[in-house]
Amino acid sequence: MRAGPPRDTPTAVRRLSRALRMDLVRSDRGAQNLTTFVVAAVSTILLTRLLLALTGYPQIGGGGSGLHVAHVLPGGLLMLVALVLQFAYVGRGPRPVAALLGGAGFGLFIDEVGKFVTTDNDYFYEPAVAIMYVVFAALVVGARRWRRRRPLDDDEKVANAAHALVDGIAGHLPASHREEALRGLDEVGDEFGARELRALLERVEPSPVPVPQHLEHAWARVQEVFERLATSWWALPLMGVCLLLQSAGAALVAAGAWVVGRGFGAAGLGVVVGAAAALVFALAGLAQAHRRGRQAAVESFQRSALTSLLVTQVFLFAASQFAAVAGLVVDLVLLGLVNADLERMRTRPAGAPQRSQSSTRTAPKSPS
């Protein structure tokens, strides 16, 4: 069980720790749900700006009525729906849907940050892109450091299995989720409650995939495709080359905008910095493939894809909406391949040969 501060900690520090302790139990799917949230938010921003550019930036409620329904309002409604799903229902079922709707709503909200920080409500305020980047980068980097700093404790794994049992008692636990919970209990040994939970989970009758989890089911199908592609011999060099081309293409778009006199200041600098960082990560991955192995290379590719998605494409939108949306699609595909390859390697037993995923398929997982 988790303990409080060490006994040799000063009394004042122990009291403060107990006073501030919220007894939060981390979810084993927290990283996946946060990734869904961020990807949905960034995709919503880019697609919204593309749609507005193609339609000439129309105003809902305009035409002399004196009203303007900003898209921050539907964004707030989507975030409200996501919160209600979390407040009103128990179990894991609503979380993938809440992450998707909440991310889309937050994307619509923060897309108008330029209006919130300027006296003239300037939607095109250039530093707004940097504000968006800082928010998303802080979310992703903070979540990764939080999980890597301390893996789930045994009691947290038991608590997550109990959370899955909630769905099972209600008759909404698919077989894949039950097997995943049982595997988590296998890792904790004789932790308090593990044996009892296993007995209850084994008695639960698996159910078809319920409606709230169809999103997760669709993600699982997409992930299966990525897993099959990731096992190909050409997957690693292809990911590296695509990341290099992605970075070079973004830099060329930025240079082209500058040459034709469409300089875009801070946004242009953001494209160059993001493309350079993504390029360095991609080159490092190709170099590490021979020195440190496939996993180190793919982890570096993951950093490159995330940098391109969360930095380069956001700033690139100021130069070319079409190039940014195309880059978004490429980044999402590459990120799916990278994450599938990492998951395959991390779940393979130590010393096991790298076989095709068709012969060592794992249970479907939520998007990562």
- Label residue 356 by pLDDT band (50, 70, 90): very low
Mean pLDDT over each residue of the chain, to the nearest integer: 76
Q: How far is CA 72 from CA 35, 39, 112, 281, in A?
A: 22, 18, 7, 35
> Quick one: which of 244, 259, 267 has its CA closest to 319?
267
**Where are the alpha helices (H) located in 205-362, listed in sequence order?**
214-230, 235-259, 265-291, 294-307, 313-316, 321-347
pLDDT at 353: 46
103 located within any domain: yes
Q: How far is CA 31 from CA 223, 313, 365, in A?
A: 16, 22, 12
Domain boundary among 105, 124, 143: 124
Residue 362 DSSP symbol: P
Asked if 110 and 207 sit in the same domain, the reply is no
Asked if 119 and 66 sit in the same domain, the reply is yes
Number of domains in the chain: 3
Alpha-carbon span 33 to 301, nearest angstrom:
21
Alpha-carbon span 368 to 352, nearest angstrom:
23
Residue type, 112: E
Q: Which two tokens stand for residue 315?
A: 């700033």
- pLDDT by residue (tens digit) across 236-270? 888 888 888 888 888 887 777 676 655 556 667 77
Mean pLDDT along residues 83-87: 92
Check if the beta carbon of residue 99 is closer than 8 Å to that of residue 33: yes
Asked if 96 and 158 sit in the same domain, the reply is no
> Quick one: which of 276, 288, 283, 287 has its CA closest to 247?
276
Asked if 326 and 233 sit in the same domain, the reply is yes
Most confident of 106-120, 159-173, 277-291, 322-336: 106-120
Asked if 298 and 263 sit in the same domain, the reply is yes
Name the burial class of residue 167, with classes exposed (0-12), middle (13-18) and buried (19+) by CB atoms within 10 angstroms of its CB.
Answer: buried
Domain boundary among 197, 214, 231: 214
Mean pLDDT along residues 52-69: 72
Asked if 39 and 109 sit in the same domain, the reply is yes
- DSSP of 122-181: -TT-THHHHHHHHHHHHHHHHHHHHHHHSPPPHHHHHHHHHHHHHHHHTT---HHHHHHH
pLDDT at 148: 63
- DSSP of 31-76: HHHHHHHHHHHHHHHHHHHHHHHHTT---TT-SSSS----THHHHH
Is pLDDT at 205 greater than 70 in this prediction? yes
Query: Among 27-31, 85-89, 140-144, 356-360, which is the least confidently predicted range?
Result: 356-360
Asked if 72 and 117 sit in the same domain, the reply is yes
- pLDDT by residue (tens digit) across 128-182? 877 887 788 778 777 766 666 677 788 888 888 888 888 888 777 877 778 888 8
Greater confidence (18 vs 178) lies with 178
Asked if 334 and 275 sit in the same domain, the reply is yes
- pLDDT by residue (tens digit) across 287-328? 887 787 888 888 888 888 888 887 887 777 766 666 776 777
pLDDT at 211: 53
pLDDT at 74: 92
pLDDT at 66: 64
20 located within any domain: no
Alpha-carbon span 249 to 282, nearest angstrom:
14
Is pLDDT at 67 greater than 50 in this prediction? yes
Look at the chain and count its residues: 368
Asked if 208 and 183 sit in the same domain, the reply is yes
Residue type, 153: D
pLDDT at 83: 94
pLDDT at 354: 44
Domain boundary among 214, 240, 264: 214
Asked if 103 and 193 sit in the same domain, the reply is no
pLDDT at 46: 82
Asked if 242 and 316 sit in the same domain, the reply is yes
Packing angle of the helix pair 154-169, 194-203 (nearest 10 deg): 30
Query: How much of the chain exceeds pLDDT 90, in percent?
Result: 7
Greater confidence (339 vs 41) lies with 41
357 located within any domain: no
pLDDT at 78: 96
Domain span at residue 34 reads 30-124
> Quick one: which of 69, 68, 135 has its CA closest to 107?
135
Asked if 188 and 230 sit in the same domain, the reply is no
Mean pLDDT along residues 99-109: 93
